[in-house]
Structures are given as structure tokens and as C-alpha cells.
């Protein structure tokens, strides 16, 4: 059971906007940056969002991140079939002195 919580699943139709939440506490999300990863089937994770809302070069601006208090969100607009993947949030936890990942959200494009 992770200290950072994500919904296990999310879905949307092509072109829609979907949001994935990541909920924690002051010791993790509240005090530290949040990172988002996309994992396509049978591949290594890929950094999607860093420092709460910044995008690495090459990541489409359809992907956006935000953080408020002890929660963070990943939004995907203009949903495409290739966005079907598992998405994970991650952050540092001051109490655990370690990195914590959310449990992951499986996104289905209907």
C-alpha cells in the first residue's frame, strides 16, 4: 500500500480530456516536487512531467501537470489511442527518506 494514492483506472474517448489524480501528505507531495511517468506495455517508464508541471523536450503539450497542497494531477487533452498506458506519479517522502511511487493508473482509450 503506497503512501501516495492514484485511481487504479481511467478512461476516455479519442479527443477527450482526462485527468489522473495523485494524493499524498505533507511529508511527500506537500513538501516536494511531483513527477509523472508513462509506461507503455513491456517497456521501461518514461518521464512525462517533472517538478510538478514542466515537460521534458519531446513530450507533447497535450500532457500537463499541476499540484495543489498535498495533491497533484496529470491532465491529457486531445486523447489519442497511443496514450493508452500506465501512468505513475512519484515524489520524495521526507519521513521515509525515500522515493515513493503512486500505485499507478491504467488509462484506457475507448
Partner 1 sequence: VQLLESGGGLVQPGGSLRLSCAASGLTFSNYGMSWVRQAAGRGLEWVSAISGGGSTYDADSVKGRFTISRDNSKNMLYLQMNSLRVEDTAVYYCAKEYRDTAMGNFDYWGQGTLVTVSS
Given the rule CB under 8 A, which residues bind partner 1? 2, 32-33, 35, 37, 39, 44-47, 50-51, 56, 86, 88, 90-92, 96-104
Least Cβ distance, residue 39 to partner 1 (angstroms): 8
- Residue closer to partner 1, measured from CB, 35 or 63: 35
- Residue closer to partner 1, measured from CB, 73 or 91: 91
| 58 within 8 A of 65, measured Cβ to Cβ | no
Look at strands 46-49 and 34-39 and give their pairing.
antiparallel
Sign of the CA dihedral with 21 first, then 26, 29, and 30 last: positive
**How deeply is 64 buried, as exposed, middle or buried, from its count of CB atoms within 10 A (0-12, 13-18, 19+)?**
buried
Least Cβ distance, residue 21 to partner 1 (angstroms): 15
- Residue closer to partner 1, measured from CB, 47 or 110: 47
Amino acid at each position: 500500500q503506497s503512501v501516495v494514492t492514484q485511481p487504479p483506472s481511467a478512461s476516455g474517448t479519442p479527443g477527450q480530456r482526462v485527468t489522473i489524480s495523485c494524493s499524498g501528505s505533507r511529508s511527500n507531495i506537500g513538501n516536494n516536487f511531483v513527477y509523472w511517468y508513462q509506461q507503455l506495455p513491456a517497456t521501461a517508464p518514461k518521464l512525462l512531467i517533472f517538478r510538478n508541471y514542466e515537460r521534458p523536450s519531446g513530450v507533447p503539450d497535450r500532457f500537463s501537470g499541476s499540484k495543489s497542497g498535498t495533491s497533484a494531477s496529470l491532465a491529457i487533452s486531445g486523447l489519442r489511442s497511443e496514450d493508452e498506458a500506465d501512468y505513475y506519479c512519484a515524489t520524495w517522502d521526507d519521513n521515509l527518506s525515500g522515493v515513493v511511487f503512486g500505485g499507478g493508473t491504467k488509462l484506457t482509450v475507448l
